[in-house]
Chains A and B, each alone.
Chain A
Amino acid sequence: MINSARQQRLIDEAKALLKQGKVRWIIGFEAGSLKFTTTPLITADAGDTSRLVINSFIVNNLSNFLPELEGRIGIVAKGCDSRSIVSLIQDSKVRREDVVILAVPCSGLIDLAKVEQLIGKDRDEIDAISRKDDKVIVTLAGAKREFSISEALYDNCLACELPTPQEYDILLGEPILPSNEPAAGQKKLDELKKMSPEARWQFWKKELERCIRCYACRNACPACYCQRCFVEETEPQWLLPIPHWQDNLMFQITMDIHVAGRCTDCGECQRACPVNIPLRSLTKEMYDIVADLFHFKAGMDKEALPLMTHYEQEEAEDLIG
């Protein structure tokens, strides 16, 4: 996905947008302080745009910043991010005319944790990671090693349904069709579903025991935007603010219910988690339930009404006696 021509075009477009006063802010990615990583770049200064990058590590879903900034915003968006933006527009959190979407067709992001595990070395020891068609090439001490995308990409990227944004103002590069491996992206969920209900509950209990309730998952999620979150309510107090696994689990379940129909499977919650709880195995299941019961996929159709504001006369009847 590294394509310097495309990166140069992004820099030029972003610079022009700021200079012509068409946008007040540009939100994109710049190189991070750690090797291979990127970090969000939010700027109103045209001079800063030369720091913008596009590569296989632009993981963050930048649409999270949209409701926080005032004025017209130019934003770099991958397929999943564009779905989040559409979802925010549907929810009237953002106005379409206030956003200039700089669309980046994305063939999947490389999961550094997976790469580290594959080669058994820390990322600092890796010289380069590059992408060629459906292979990920890792250069280590001069030697090249090839891995398939199903080994080295994020699970949610393997299950990606929209690599090229549908909704955009400027398209950077050629559109890409989904050429992923949904089965590989679904592996962890399938494993869980094979377990007995008791074992599944124990699995989640064990995972959520690690949760420190930092709310990084909530804060990283563009779909989770309440001004006042139910966890901070004291009257009634739905759950305690201390990290008991019971309260942690209740928090996660409720968060997943709250973002049902808005979650675009961008994977930000799981990436944000400092204790590596497999949160995507929760959110993706909710995504699938919503798709299965109501044929609804967040951010795919600009004209669609938000999930919980409409209904069909006949649906989910077998669940209620």
Chain B
Amino acid sequence: MEQREDWEPKIVGFLCKWCSYAGADLAGTSRRKYPANIGIIKVPCSGRVDPLFILKALRLGFDGVLVSGCHPGECHYLTGNYRARRKFAITKKFLEYLGVDPRRLQGSWVSASEGDKFAHVVTEMTKQLKEIGANRLFADDK
């Protein structure tokens, strides 16, 4: 299927309530510009992100998934992000083996004070997804 010229990637962002969500908020309140391609889902902790969330998002046709939480050692629940990292790492590696472009699934550590970093992460990811093109992994016609 031809890609329309005005196509824009859609990203689902799972952001932890304590750091990355606040970081995204800061990016907004400090009027940092970043692409509107991301739809944000607030999770209590990055450890809440079940690999099923990621798969379901890809299955529904979202072009990329961002999982973002507190920096290692700074989790509000002390160890949630370390646990998130294990789940995230095996999911990313495994999807790559199956043939999913690793850039479709990205992770980042963004603290509540890093509005700039959040804007940068989303800008970068949107740029990369535009290079890869639309997610047709689960499309039937291919």
Contacts and interface: CB of A to CB of B under 8 A. Distances in A.
Contact of B83 (A204, A230, A311, A314): A311
B94 to A, nearest CB: 6
B97 A200 contact: yes
A311 B56 contact: no
B51 A254 contact: yes
A204 B98 contact: yes
A201 B59 contact: no
A321 B95 contact: no
B37 interface: no
B121 interface: yes
Interface of A: 192-193, 196-205, 230, 238-239, 246, 249-250, 253-254, 256-257, 260, 285-286, 289-290, 293-294, 307-308, 311-317, 319-321
A293 B88 CA distance: 12
A316 B85 contact: yes
Contacts of A319: 85, 88-89, 92-93, 107
Q: Is the contact region of chain A dominated by helix, strand, or loop, or is it mixed?
A: helix
B43 to A, nearest CB: 15
A68 to B, nearest CB: 26
B52 interface: yes
A315 B90 contact: no
9 contacts: A201-B100, A202-B99, A250-B56, A250-B59, A257-B87, A257-B91, A257-B94, A293-B90, A308-B83
Nearest to A258: B51
Contact of B107 (A238, A250, A321): A321
A190 to B, nearest CB: 12
Given A202-B142, A256-B94, 17 more contacts: A197-B99, A197-B100, A198-B99, A199-B99, A200-B97, A200-B98, A202-B99, A250-B56, A254-B52, A257-B51, A257-B91, A293-B89, A308-B86, A311-B86, A312-B82, A317-B72, A320-B107
Contacts of A204: 98-99
A229 to B, nearest CB: 12
Contacts of A312: 82
Interface centre among A201, A202, A312 (most CB of B within 10 A): A201
Interface residues of B, number: 36
Contacts of B82: 311-313
Contact of B97 (A239, A254, A285, A313): A285
B46 to A, nearest CB: 10
B108 interface: yes
B95 A253 contact: yes
A321 B73 CA distance: 15
B106 interface: yes
Contacts of B40: none
A313 B73 contact: yes
Nearest to B51: A257
A199 B100 CA distance: 11
A321 B106 contact: yes
Q: Please list the 7 inter-chain residue pairs (A to B) with the smallest Cβ-Cβ separation, ordered nearest first.
A: A201-B99, A200-B99, A311-B82, A320-B107, A316-B89, A197-B99, A289-B93
Given A201-B99, A257-B51, A313-B73, A286 B89 contact: no
Contacts of A320: 85, 88-89, 107-109
A142 to B, nearest CB: 47
B137 interface: yes
B16 to A, nearest CB: 13
A44 B86 CA distance: 42
A251 B21 CA distance: 30
Given A286-B90, A313-B73, A321-B107, A197 B101 contact: yes
A197 B100 CA distance: 7
Nearest to A193: B97
Interface in B87-142: 87-101, 106-109, 121, 137-138, 140, 142
Contacts of B52: 230, 238, 254
Nearest to A318: B89
B55 interface: yes
Interface in B34-92: 51-52, 55-56, 59, 72-73, 79, 82-83, 85-92
Contact of B86 (A193, A246, A294): A294
A91 B85 CA distance: 21
In the complex, which of the residues A192, A203, A260 has the most CB atoms of chain B within 10 Å of its own CB atom?
A260
